[in-house]
Amino acid sequence: MPRSGADARRRLQQAALDLYRERGFDQTTAADIAQRAGVNARTFFRHFPDKREVLFDGEADLRAALAQYVREAPDGSTPAEVLLHAFRKAAHILEDNRAFAEPRLALIAETPTLRERDLAKGAAMAASVAEGLRGRGVDDRLADLAAHTGWAAFHHAAQNWIDDPAPGLQAHLVRAFAEVNALFGAVTPPS
């Protein structure tokens, strides 16, 4: 029975997630994952450079999508409006992968080596979004500030959506942006 590359890739991801949860990330090898997925180790490395990357497969798609949606946001949008527009348009990417999203976040939270990779991916995501804002004429430093605070809001929304999927990720994003507004709107200037 021939298997498409996309099918093997998906099965490798599922096998990795299952094994990481059963044995722990550090106790699982790429060969174990390949075996569980019914492919050989060479196939594993044709799809992924290492066993961490299996869990970050959607990041490149998400980054590319966000870059596009930042470019396409309506003229005259403020930087935060651009971000909220882009994040909401990209919400389906997470929603389409909901089955992976929850165990993935839990694994990352409890595995230091995955936390490191996740931080690096998050920083790359924020840098890419900031670049997109600069491309729309937003000031250099302000673009970084908007991207990093916006990314924190995105992360917050995604976690709330894991806990409570019913309203949808888009609603959680709108709420997260409102929460940042409420947090910082209330600051009394120091005397």
- Interface residues toward a copy of itself, by CB under 8 A: 78-81, 84-85, 88, 115-116, 119-120, 123, 141-142, 144-146, 148-149, 152-153, 155-156, 159-160, 174, 176-181, 183-190
186/1 Cα distance (integer angstroms): 62
Nearer to a copy of itself, 29 or 77 (CB): 77
Q: In whole angstroms, give the CA distance from residue 93 to residue 8.
A: 20
Contact 107, 98 (CB under 8 A): no
Q: How far is the CB of 153 from a copy of itself (least distance, A)?
A: 7
Shorter beta-carbon distance to a copy of itself: residue 22 or 139: 139
Q: Supply the minimum distance, in Å, between the C-beta of residue 31 and a copy of itself.
A: 27
CB of 21 to a copy of itself, least distance (A): 23
Which one, 32 or 56, has the nearer CB to a copy of itself? 56
Q: Looking at beta carbons only, is 99 or 142 nearer to a copy of itself?
A: 142
Minimum gap (Å) between residue 119 Cβ and a copy of itself: 4
CA proximity to 16, closest of 42, 61, 52, 40: 52
Rounded to whole angstroms, what are the CA distances from 95 to 15, 72, 91, 100, 136? 20, 21, 6, 10, 28
| CA neighbor of 132 nearest in space, from 76, 177, 186, 66 | 66
Minimum CB–partner distance for residue 157 and a copy of itself (Å)? 9
Please, which residue, 31 or 109, has the CB nearer to a copy of itself? 109
Q: Which of 179, 161, 144, 153 is nearest to 93 (CA)?
A: 161
